Amino acid sequence: GVDKKILVIPGDGIGQEVTTWGRKVLETIATNYKHNFTFEEGIMGHVAIDATGTPLPDETLDKARKSDAILFGAIGHAKYDNDPTLKVRPEQGLLKIRKELGLYANLRPIKLFDELLEASSIKPEILRGADILFFRELTGDVYFGEKKRTEDRNTASDLMIYHRYEVERIARKAFEAARTRRKKLCSVDKANVLEASRLWREVVQAMEKEYTDVTVEHMFIDNAAMQLVKDPKRFDVVVTGNLFGDILTDEASQIAGSMGMLASASVGDSVGFYEPIHGSAHDIAGKGIANPLASILSAALMLDISFGLKNESLRVIKAVETTLKQGFRTMDIANKHTENHLVMGTDAMGAKVLENLS
Amino acid sequence: GVDKKILVIPGDGIGQEVTTWGRKVLETIATNYKHNFTFEEGIMGHVAIDATGTPLPDETLDKARKSDAILFGAIGHAKYDNDPTLKVRPEQGLLKIRKELGLYANLRPIKLFDELLEASSIKPEILRGADILFFRELTGDVYFGEKKRTEDRNTASDLMIYHRYEVERIARKAFEAARTRRKKLCSVDKANVLEASRLWREVVQAMEKEYTDVTVEHMFIDNAAMQLVKDPKRFDVVVTGNLFGDILTDEASQIAGSMGMLASASVGDSVGFYEPIHGSAHDIAGKGIANPLASILSAALMLDISFGLKNESLRVIKAVETTLKQGFRTMDIANKHTENHLVMGTDAMGAKVLENLS
Ligand SMILES: CC(C)[C@H](C(=O)O)[C@@H](O)C(=O)O
Ligand SMILES: CC(C)[C@H](C(=O)O)[C@@H](O)C(=O)O
């Protein structure tokens, strides 16, 4: 067995409810496969602002640096969404930890479980067989460029900026991944309007020579947002910037049936960071109805990517699949038109997956 | 009858093929309703670069200023898409004319013709009844902020910037439109990360007091990209910035069955500018298979918005509807699963609409 230190950061809203289940799955895997996983907890986001005045306390960041992998929940709170003038904001915690840990590559695999073919708003014949791996750049772009507000408060700006090395390192990861898959890479930008995108396109084009076995397509973001709904099967690996990646992967959640199903891995310099794609969902927080599967699948990604435990990872995915096959559903993936579905809350659903793991 | 001067700018790629039909429809309406429409032609885009070295010749801009309305086709060419280092680019023409004519409000109505319910990749039960009016801000944002490239060519940036008055004037148009519709306004931004979005949200929030009869919702762009596919019926009027609007409206084309169906109106200081949402589509340009309906529906928008000819506008929409009812389809909206569809090219389809107009 392996020794690993895992930091758990539930964060805000439904993060608190679902992350428990990602953790429990890791605990069960440790027991079943005789690994030694030790857990710590950290705070971040609105809960951290409430407790300490800052969205990412030094203590959490220290713990993060010392861990082998981090399981994160979600961030954000209605209070801040409703008041854009607040200076200290939960999301700053997430952006800071991404930057501090050098987590420049955000992997978002989009794959539909057969059992959920009917749960999407998109037609089953369009979805069947879709399998996309997104590489979203995570520590650059307009997210981290300089932000300004004039003194009269009447003008606001954010700098969309990319450096060559930033594009190169994320593109390299995407090219390498494409090699192990269907050998197709789609790079998404807005090079017909944006200078940052023209740099992006130049860099990816220059790398094509190194990867002649990979077929590369360049697509404008507006077209990509359309093609993703029209014909998701045309995509294999997609690489794009921070902002466009944020938008496209949320949109792509409909390909996987629901946002509640999607896990992500952020990697870079060393430690790996695993989180559902969904947010804190304050509209349903505290109700015990959130889907725990994205957190559980984030744990599966951790086992695979950070720990190299491929079998254990597949075991978790299998348990999720079995649970869906048995007809168990949380609200977000229940299909009104299908019989034989047992709709349940977060804890009941999580417990079913644990059962299927044993 | 009314006297109007219309400038026709076919532009690049399929713009050349489809704009003919928008113009013919306007000519037919003029004859049938005894209006006096005079037409001029202008060049813009790749064709203008080829002919004059610049994507928007002064002559075209002069003609535009002197006209009552402009019917535009599309812009862009593979040559430039494939070479991000080229300095003079077709799209600069379109951006410049938008700026010079003060076309700050881009209206993009998304409505599905019943006959096309099956043409979309989205399930009919999700689409039926969807009716969205987008207001995309068109002369600000990262499109027009300062662009920079360092001398070593290794760093590139674009400034995402908004001024209070820019947000106010587009939001006002959107609020007013919501009043005449289902009284719901969704403002889309990324206020949890971007300062420009926080200004955007502040401004829209402040205006809510003036429009207490309109229910306002603020949504993050990533969530909006998802909700648009998941539940398009939840939207009535949507207002957003230039970049987010570009992305969301292309995505929304799937709600209307095809990109080839969507028209847009850009208005502001004086003259109105009408164009399909689709691009120059170099992959199908010159083949005579592009869908002319977006250009024809752009002409319908012109009749309504710039000329106040509501009946004439409805007459055009009706003719399109009849053509679809008769089973005529261009390739992009043909449904493989339905019988009784006659698939035809651009000219045959355009001719059918003209027939139905008489
Ligand atoms: C919460 C927010 C800052 C974040 C982002 O935009 O990156 C989220 O949407 C995500 O996708 O991880
Ligand atoms: C051609 C391009 C510059 C343009 C834009 O991004 O505005 C187009 O996509 C549009 O939506 O009108």
Cβ-defined contact of B192 to A91 (cutoff 8 Å): yes
Cβ atoms of residues A97 and A61 within 8 Å: yes
Q: Residue B230: which of A121, A153, A205 has the nearest Cβ? A: A121
Ligand nearest to the CA of B294: 2
- CB contacts, 8 Å: A198 with chain B: 84-85, 156
pLDDT for the residue B338: 61
> What is the arithmetic mean of pLDDT over A274-296?
96
User: Pick from B194, B224, B256: which residue ends a domain?
Assistant: B256
pLDDT score at B269: 82
The radius of gyration of chain A's CA atoms, rounded to the nearest angstrom, is 20
pLDDT of residue A284: 95
pLDDT at B337 over 90: no
Q: For residue A338, is pLDDT > 90?
A: no
Clarify whether residues B205 and B132 are in a common domain: yes
Same structural domain, B139 and B223: yes
Q: Domain boundary residue among B196, B225, B256?
A: B256
Question: B215 pairs with which residues across the strands?
Answer: B184
Alpha-carbon gap, residue B331 to B8, rounded angstroms? 25
H or E stretch including A187?
A: strand A184-189
- Residue B216 sits in a domain of what CATH number? 3.40.718.10
B14 and B94 in a single domain? The answer is yes
C-alpha B240/C-alpha B243 separation (Å) is: 8
Q: Which of A222, A256, A290 is the last residue of a domain?
A: A256
pLDDT value of position A257: 87
Q: How many domains does the structure of chain B reveal? A: 2
Q: Which residues line ligand 1 at a C-beta cut-off of 6 Å?
A: A 75-76, 91, 94, 246, 279; B 192-193, 222
For the cut 90, the answer to whether the pLDDT of residue A341 exceeds it is no
Residues B206 and B292 in one domain: no
Ligand 2 centroid distance, CA of B250 (Å): 10
Assign A28 a pLDDT band (cuts: 50, 70, 90).
very high
Radius of gyration (C-alpha) of chain B in whole angstroms: 20
The answer to whether residues B148 and B59 belong to one domain is no
CA pair distance A68, B207, nearest whole angstrom: 49
Same domain, B8 and B58: yes
Do B279 and A89 lie within an 8 Å CB cutoff? no
Do B161 and B273 lie in a common domain? no
Which residue matches tokens 């990324």?
B190
- What single-letter amino acid sits at B26? L
Please write the tens of the pLDDT for every residue from B246-271: 999 999 999 998 899 999 999 998 89
Average confidence score pLDDT of chain B: 96
**What tokens appear for B84 in the block?**
């991000």
Query: How many angstroms away from the CA of A337 is the closest CA of chain B?
Result: 11
Q: Please indicate, yes or no, if residue A115 is contained in any of the structural domains.
A: no
Q: Which two tokens stand for residue B350?
A: 């355009």
Per residue in A169-226, pLDDT (tens digit) is 999 999 999 999 999 999 999 999 999 999 999 999 999 999 999 999 999 999 999 9
- Least confident piece of the model among A256-260, A294-298, A306-310, B352-356: A256-260
Q: Write out chain A residues lying below 8 Å of B193, CB-based.
A: 91, 95, 143
Which atom of ligand 1 sits closest to the CA of residue A74? 1
Q: What is the pLDDT of residues B12-71, one digit of tens each?
A: 999 999 999 999 999 999 999 999 999 999 999 999 999 999 999 999 999 999 999 999
Same domain, B135 and B81: no
Q: Based on the fold, state whether residues B303 and B341 are members of the same structural domain.
A: yes
Q: Is residue B190 annotated as a catalytic residue, yes or no?
A: yes
Give the percent of chain B with pLDDT over 90. 94
Ligand 2: which atom is nearest the Cα of residue A220?
Answer: 9
Nearest Cα residue to atom 3 of ligand 1 = A91
Determine which one of A50, A62, A222, A347 is catalytic: A222
Using the CB atoms, write b or e for B53-86: b if 16+ within 10 Å.
eebbbeebbebbeebbbbbbbbbbbeebbeebee
- Ligand 2 mutation target, pool A222, A223, A226, most atoms within 8 A of CB: A222
Distance CA B237, CA B242 (A): 16
Distance between CA A285 and CA A93 in Å, rounded? Answer: 20
CA distance B50 to B46: 6
Mean pLDDT of B223-240: 97
pLDDT band at B339 (very low <50, low <70, confident <90, very high): low
Tell me if residue B217 falls in helix, strand or coil. Answer: strand
Residue A113 covered by a domain: no
User: Scanning every residue of chain A, which has its alpha carbon at the shortest distance from the alpha carbon of B246?
Assistant: A222
- The mean pLDDT of B179-193, rounded to a whole number, is 98
Within 6 Å (CB) of ligand 2, which residues are found?
A: A 192-193, 222; B 75-76, 91, 94, 246, 279
Distance from CA of B84 to the nearest CA of A (A): 5
The pLDDT value recorded for residue B336 is 65
pLDDT band at A70 (very low <50, low <70, confident <90, very high): very high
Using most ligand atoms within 8 A of CB, pick from B12, B56, B81, B94 the residue to mutate for ligand 2: B94
Residue A337 has pLDDT above 70, yes or no: no
Give the N- to C-terminal CA distance of chain B in Å, as an integer.
18
Asked if residue B110 is part of any domain, the answer here is no
Number of A to B CB contacts under 8 A, please give it. Answer: 188
Residue B238 lies in a domain: yes
Contacts of A123 (CB under 8 A, 6+ apart): B121, B122, B123
Strands B342-343 and A155-163 turn out to be unpaired
What is the residue type of A218?
H
Q: Which two tokens stand for residue A9?
A: 């950061």
* pLDDT tops 80 at residue B80: yes
Predicted confidence (pLDDT) at residue B81 exceeds the cutoff of 80: yes
Question: Same domain, yes or no, for A238 and A275?
Answer: no
Q: Is residue B251 part of a domain?
A: yes
Q: Is A246 a catalytic residue?
A: yes
**B62 and B1 both lie in a single domain:** yes
The tens digit of pLDDT for each residue in A49-68 reads: 999 999 999 999 999 999 99
Q: Is the pLDDT of residue A335 over 80?
A: no
> Percent helix, strand, coil in chain B (nearest 5)?
45, 20, 30
Q: Are residues A137 and A77 in the same domain?
A: no
Tell me whether residue B250 is one of the annotated catalytic residues: yes
Give B341's contacts (C-beta < 8 A, 6+ positions apart): B327, B328, B329, B334, B335
Mean pLDDT, range A145-157, rounded to an integer: 98
Mutation to probe ligand 2, out of A189, A193, A227 (largest number of atoms < 8 A from CB): A193
Among residues B80, B104, B143, B211, the one annotated as catalytic is: B143
Residue B115 belongs to a domain: no
Q: Which residues form the domain of B203?
A: 120-256
**pLDDT tens figures, B271-284:** 999 999 999 999 99
Please give the angle made by the CA atoms of B70, B75 and B81, to the nearest 5 degrees. Answer: 165
Catalytic choice (A24, A173, A190, A352): A190
Residue A269: per-residue pLDDT: 81
pTM above 0.85, yes or no: yes
A68 is a domain residue? yes
- Please indicate, yes or no, if residue A226 is contained in any of the structural domains: yes
